Amino acid sequence: MALADHDPLLLLRQAISSGSPFIPTPSDDPGAAEAALARASHLQFTSRGTALPFDAPTRFISNDKPVDLRSIYFAWLNRELAIPEYNASATTLNDELAAAGSAGKVQNLGFIERLDLITWLEGASEESEYIKPLAGDAGAAAAGAAPAAKPGALSSATKARSGKGTMDPRLASVYDGERRMGDRNTALRGIKPMDFSHVRKLAVPFIQKKSQSASAVSTNPSLSINQKGPSRRPDPIILLSPSASSLLRMSNARSFLEDGKFVPPDAAASTASMLHVQRTMRGIDPNRPMRFILVEGSEQFKPEYWNRIVAVFTTGQTWQFKNYKWSSPNDLFKHTLGVFVGWRGEQAPDNVRSWGHRVLSTGVDRWRGGDGQDASRFRDKEVVEQIWKTIEMNMRSKGWRADAAPTSI
């Protein structure tokens, strides 16, 4: 049986995409009843007749170690929870596991790791910087992970996430209407298994030639300079202000930064603790849009995340920076760009003005509400373009490139 048939991540992603049930059970018996997660030892994929142990390692790597299936399943179940609630739930489950005599333990994932995992499981992304490809089958894993859905119908995962910070429902409907295209891996497989073992004999001369080239490099170290292979560029991070007086919050940030339309932050409530927006930065990578991760706090930051900060939105209140790597505004804005969004025609707070040119001060028209409100927002796009232009200039100066990110800012 193929390696992918028992890969925990692929089985879970396929079940989510197709809406097939998967339940925790106390044994690998196909007829076992569903059990509480603290007392379950296996995850049963009923439509596949397959049960995998919860302590099975997966290809998702955190802190250089594989994350077990129990932690992956727990992260999916609690995908809607904010970071504090997610951490509290993990602690509660670990206590229940210990009380039940289980040696298992749920591993807490960082907020970017969790966002990356959920995005991949839902099928919104075909790659992840934390998931190792299947040995010898990386292309097929991506192609087979998301079965085609009926045109015009949203998958159950998309319906569950619509409007909650992961994927805009309009964008999801466009994706669901796309024709699924195979790649060279799926084309080679055809409709029946093929034996390509004879290709090994053809590859022997090329492998020998590569070995000879490697030997030449080892004898002449100067040849190895800048020969490092390309790596996946990490997503840049934008920090929003958690202040209740901020005009830009998680509830309206996507509408403003992606669509160029400002709506009041209290017009649409949001429980999301993170989201992402896409923007093509032509001066950095004109061929593909960049994905920006938006968060309001840095509590779950790893040290390397600070090198990915490209902008900090602020109201001028210095308590926002208390837990930052650079808690002093003057130090912070030497390393990254500050952005203040206020009302057009009103003067920026004294703090913002005292921080000088390192903080971009902008203003949007006041929200009037009522009929005709869409027509009155035509100047919002001008403000958004000004913000993105300044962010792009700052990113270029810090070393962002099409295939690389700065190692220090």
Residues paired with residue 338 on neighbouring β-strands, in sequence order: 312, 359
CA 293, 298, 302, 303 torsion: positive or negative?
positive
Residues of the chain with CATH 3.40.50.11990: 237-398
- The confidence score (pLDDT) of residue 297 equals 86
Token duo for residue 282: 């032509």
Burial of 256 from C-beta contacts in 10 A (0-12 / 13-18 / 19+): buried
Cα-based angle 60, 61, 65 (whole degrees, multiple of 5): 130
pLDDT lower than 70: segments of the chain: 1-5, 136-169, 179-197, 210-231, 268-271, 369-376
> Would you state the pLDDT for residue 188?
57
**What b/e readout covers 133-164, taking b as 16+ CB neighbours within 10 angstroms?**
ebeebebbbbbbbbeebeeeebbebbeebbee
pLDDT at 227: 40
The answer for residues whose C-beta is within 8 angstroms of residue 401's C-beta and 6 or more apart is 233, 284, 285
From the number of C-beta atoms within 10 Å of its C-beta (0-12, 13-18, 19+), residue 221 rates as exposed
In this structure, what token pair is assigned to residue 239? 């920090």
The percent helix, strand, coil of the chain (3-state, each to 5) is: 40, 15, 45
Which class does domain 237-398 fall in?
A: alpha beta
Query: Which are the contacts of 170, defined by CB distance < 8 A and separation ≥ 6?
Result: none
Reported as type and span, the H/E element at residue 81 is none
Predicted local confidence at residue 382, as pLDDT: 92
Question: How confident is the model at residue 148, as a pLDDT?
Answer: 41
95 to each of 53, 76, 105, 143, how far by Cα in Å?
Answer: 20, 20, 9, 39
CA 129, 133, 138: angle at the middle one, nearest 5? 125
Residues 6+ apart with CB under 8 A from 51: 25, 27, 28, 29, 30, 32, 42, 43, 44, 45
Evaluate whether 156 touches 16 at the Cβ level (below 8 Å): yes
